[in-house]
Homo-oligomer: A and B are copies of this chain.
Amino acid sequence: MTTRPLILLDPHPRASTDIFDDETRRALDGLGEIVEHAGGPMPAALVEQHLPRASLLLGQTDLPAERLARAPNLRGVINVETNFLANIDYETCFSRGIHVLTPGSAFAPVVAEMALAMAIDLARGITGADRAMRAGDEAWGLAGNTGCFMFSGSAVGLVGYGDLGRALHRLLAPFGCRVRAFDPWLPDYFLRAQGVEPTSLDEVLAQSRTVFVFAGVSSENAGFIARPQFETMQPGSSFLLLSRAAVVDFPEMLRQARIGRLRVATDVFPSEPLAADDPARSTPNLLLSAHRAGALVEALHDIGRQAVADAGLILRGLAPVVCRRAQRETVGRSRSKPIEMS
């Protein structure tokens, strides 16, 4: 009799019902014996009871060296919160060949479509025009388009060309935009092969009518877009922040919108939820979004699908191909805090 592989499912702070649709859950159940805990982190006793037999862990469970030593069968850890945390002894995982993965690209398609719509909104004044009609002070036709520009054919700049940048770039294909990208972690060869022009941060900012910021926060880049960088941008350009508030000088970004130098959209804020009296709430030339760009059921379900796809490969003795792998070089650099709940 064959023993089925044991899979620990410890998805907190996500709920397994949020990330697995019915079909994916059935596929997961078909892969092995599932030991699951819901409603909070899996208790240590339960972890310790099953870890010795576990082949896979789906979740964010603490895995210090001593725990990993008690997990001789562990072949993969799939973080379903989608941020690698500092609670794993990565070095041990790498040297033993335990895959540490996360379905980080699950949010890219939903963020990308919202980013594109927000960019066209800024270029064409969509939200502002609706607000004007509700206030009764709209202008019609040509007069209602003062300061607007055609997004199609305009110059686009991407700050960060990871999953989000790539997903947005894919949507830009029919728009005939010249696309420049700045990403210090990617070589020019890679960017050119993807069809974007590799450039410096300054050139992206100075040459683009619309700038999308997709860069994550690392230990090195906090606040790397500050007043000098904003001043590099052409007046009347659009600036969209869709990754983390900490990569920009946030008050300066708001100031650029307030004085009408730039059009700005942001999905993230230095502290969330935003204080009731935060000046951002009444800033003009600003499109506000309450960290909603990625938080869609379709994206959460994709986390589950990606996790189960790679889980299946690992259990068959094959290399995972879907999720992002933790890398020795970068796993320590990210500064993202764990999500409260997204």
Write the residues of chain A forming the contact surface with B, with a CB cutoff of 8 angstroms: 94-97, 109-110, 113-114, 116-118, 120-121, 124-127, 129-134, 136, 138-142, 144-145, 148-153, 170-175, 185-190, 193, 272-274, 276, 280-282, 287-292, 295-300, 305-306, 308-310, 312-313, 317-319, 321-322, 327-330, 341-342
Contacts and interface: CB of A to CB of B under 8 A. Distances in A.
A189 B190 CA distance: 24
B127 A127 contact: yes
Nearest to A193: B322
Contact of A152 (B113, B129, B149): B113
Contact of A125 (B138, B150, B151, B292): B292
B295 A141 contact: yes
Please indicate which of the listed interface residues A124, A148, A292, A296 has the most CB atoms of chain B within 10 Å of its own CB.
Answer: A292
A274 B133 CA distance: 9
Given A295-B141, A318-B329, A288 B133 contact: yes
25 contacts: A97-B328, A117-B117, A117-B120, A124-B296, A125-B292, A127-B130, A129-B289, A129-B292, A130-B287, A130-B289, A131-B131, A133-B274, A140-B272, A140-B291, A141-B291, A142-B295, A142-B300, A142-B342, A170-B174, A172-B174, A185-B321, A188-B309, A190-B322, A193-B322, A319-B330
Which of the listed residues A96, A318, A322 has the most CB atoms from chain B within 10 Å of its own CB? A318
B113 A120 contact: yes
Given A129-B289, A305-B189, A296 B139 contact: no
A41 B329 CA distance: 31
Q: Which 7 A-B pairs have the closest CB atoms?
A: A117-B120, A189-B309, A187-B309, A133-B288, A319-B327, A150-B298, A95-B95
* Copies of this chain: 4
Nearest to A140: B290
Nearest to A286: B130
A121 B330 CA distance: 35
A210 to B, nearest CB: 12
A120 B114 contact: yes
B290 A321 contact: no
Nearest to A173: B174
